Structure 1
Amino acid sequence: MAKRMLRAGTGGDIARSPVVTGRPSRRQAVLRFDPMPDRVEPCLALLSPRAPVGPEWAFEVKWDGYRLAVHIERGKVRILTRGGHDWTSRFPTIAHDALEMGLDSAILDGEAVVLDERGASDFGALQRALGGRGGKKSAAGAILYAFDLLYLDGRDLRALTLDERRDLLVAAIKPHGSIRMSEELDAEGAAFLKLACELGLEGIIAKRRDAPYRSGRGGDWLKIKCVQSETFLILGYEPSSAALGGIGRLLLAARRGDGLAHVGSVGTGFTTKTASELKKTLRSLEIEKPAIPLKAKGMVWVQPILPAEIAFRGLTDDGNLRHASYKGLREDADQSEVFQLDED
């Protein structure tokens, strides 16, 4: 893939600023020190139907894993999930390699992934490495693709532009072992999206070059997907003696207003192991009647609390998922949002 594109003059602008040069001198440390945040709410990407156009946008691959913040301070590392849960022990290699970078203090923003044989991120493989939903295994083979730097050696960098933060990130991490740069691609958004889809990737991310780091989903970052992948709640399952792991299909729901709405079912994407483990979990959540009014024969109904990640090609006219495929369960610690339908 093409190398990351740097705007002319960016490095010079950073070098002239005493606030944003690499490691602060003793004099600078006396003049200014920003307390290191205990946690930063992540900047989230807003779903967009098409890639934006213009030189003000930078583009990256959309990685399919768990969003993590890696905090390095005084020779110690904390790895926090999007929901603020401490998962340092579950990513031991990333934690080790973060210390090996030799930074005094830093907060890296990135995505932990497990790669398949093609080099693409595989959410299901990451879930299996962690032992499935509620599992306690460590994903020693996971890789962190770092794409932002929020704090470095006594400096809070969130007010800087994306270009400035990226330059400091490139200088700071010097890709090491399990920690790699999420490269910025020198390409037009539409052409890059087409290539990503041809390679079987999930999609791309577009980011405003001149934007500071703002928590929440404000539109500075956009996600454009080849195949939609969203989180839905499981309403019930159809037992099957012929299907892998004994699950014929899952009935799914999205949020609509303050309630839930049925969005169809998924019957592919399972392995014998993932379906067997899922069925065991679902059995512990069985209820007599569906959580929302539904008529379906042969279904076992469950409490609608399990968030499943589902890939699909869109919605039919009657609101059902098209070509849905099961990818795995989301952890509560990940706090991925359940798909929201427009209200009627």
Structure 2
Amino acid sequence: MNTICAFSSDSRELYKADIYRVLALPKNHIVHFRYKTKYVDDNLLQKPKKLKKQKVAIFFTHGNDLDASENTLQHFSVRWATITNTEISADTDVFHVYMKLGEFCNVEIDSGNSVEKKPPTKFFSRLNCTEKNEESNWNSRILAIKDFFPPIIFFHLKGIRNGWRDKVIHYQNSKKACSYNLIHGDRYIIKLAVSNPNASDTKIEISDSSEEITINCINPFESSIQFDDHDIPISVKTLQVFKQASLLEFKPTIKKDGSDEYEVLGEYSTNIELNLKLSFKRPLIFGLFSTMAFWALLLAKPMSSSATWPSDCTLIISTFLFYFSSSSLFFWFNKK
């Protein structure tokens, strides 16, 4: 099997954090990798726009010590992805690749590949690989790389559910970014897989940047079990505006040595973009009942013998205007 391989190594904590997020984010979410052009296969740089929709195997590379003269590198496959967009910056000479996450995978790089196509020479290249069917789930990928990461909780957001349906991810900016749309007043369930492989004293802080979401769990969230599943209920508060952006933030923490305090590992923070919106259904229902109240007042109002009932056309127009205005007030200004 010949496939594009994207490597992220342990030479910097930031690159390890990229792999942490690849493990954490839900299927179909967008991830953004950056490479200096010298680390990208020349054949892939020639026509970067033609890389769209091509399959990529994401790898974690251990042993890439920048201070060592020689390194023994180990490559661990993590997950499949599909390229959604690419870009080469003329200002920074950086190759940007945006990928939509797929299934977790167990892929080995064949020994016959040229050394010049692999790390530490190239970190984004096309290689011959062999895919294995066993040990290709999230659990196995955690066990494969856990010893090379800080003693923190790993998690995987399997999805956000509204009733019996999973919320769909929406894409923006030419599929360089993505988000979930949540409706105010509705209740949702965050489906999580969590792992504390070393039973460490570690937690995850869950928060939202807008403070418009109620997270119904003990926060910071912790688990002493090696692998587990959790459902976390959340609800969107009543918004004062038509639309509001927010970030659902997952921040791993570890206990400081010789202290009861916990330290936030900011580089490992994982964000999910949310668009909080007013419901279309609620203003329509509000308008309906407001119109019913209008008609009730109209019918109950005493009429003199000289008064004439408005024409049908006038009643229809006035009813429509009242319904439209009351619905619009609810929708745009949340006026009830």
Same fold (TM over 0.5): no
What TM-score, normalized to structure 2? 0.25
Structure ranking higher in helix proportion? 2
What TM-score, normalized to structure 1? 0.25
